[in-house]
Structure 1
């Protein structure tokens, strides 16, 4: 069950009803997106902060890149996929996606 209000997102529809999405569901969806990308290594649990009126969220993700092939393309693709996944759940793109880059996975061996 929900511990507090900040654990949910309220999704209004155009059909005179609303539904709620738990923050945990969004977190699992984000992890699925990251796990499907073989070039990205998650450093810690993504942080999700729900806004005051429970209608949107901000995401912060700490990651490392496994191979420095095309950093710009990889990050743009990751942001796009996360936006699409979140949009499919809450009918809205996240307010902000903050990617914190911690370097390459094996950069000390370079």
Structure 2
């Protein structure tokens, strides 16, 4: 069951890639920056992040339930929440902003090369 330590962050990275490119195309400020510096947008941004990662969070929960029942014979809710947060939401939160910046740079570089 150690594949969960690879699968969940990879899935979170893929969702961050999708949403970071979308942020770059729409011109939104980086995700983490919006959460930290815009109190008015914080709740909506966190809701958007959870909505984007719902599939990963559910997959992580299922994997954690299976793992805990196989290893411990019981289910520990707080441990599951911590693991899911660390392996799923945290990588998404950390990577979405840098991906958006890279995508914005890539699109501006590509636009500069095109003849007008």
- Using structure 1 for the length normalisation, give the TM-score: 0.41
> Relative to total residues, which structure has the larger helix share, 1 or 2?
2
> Relative to total residues, which structure has the larger strand share, 1 or 2?
1
Give the greater-gyration-radius structure (CA).
2
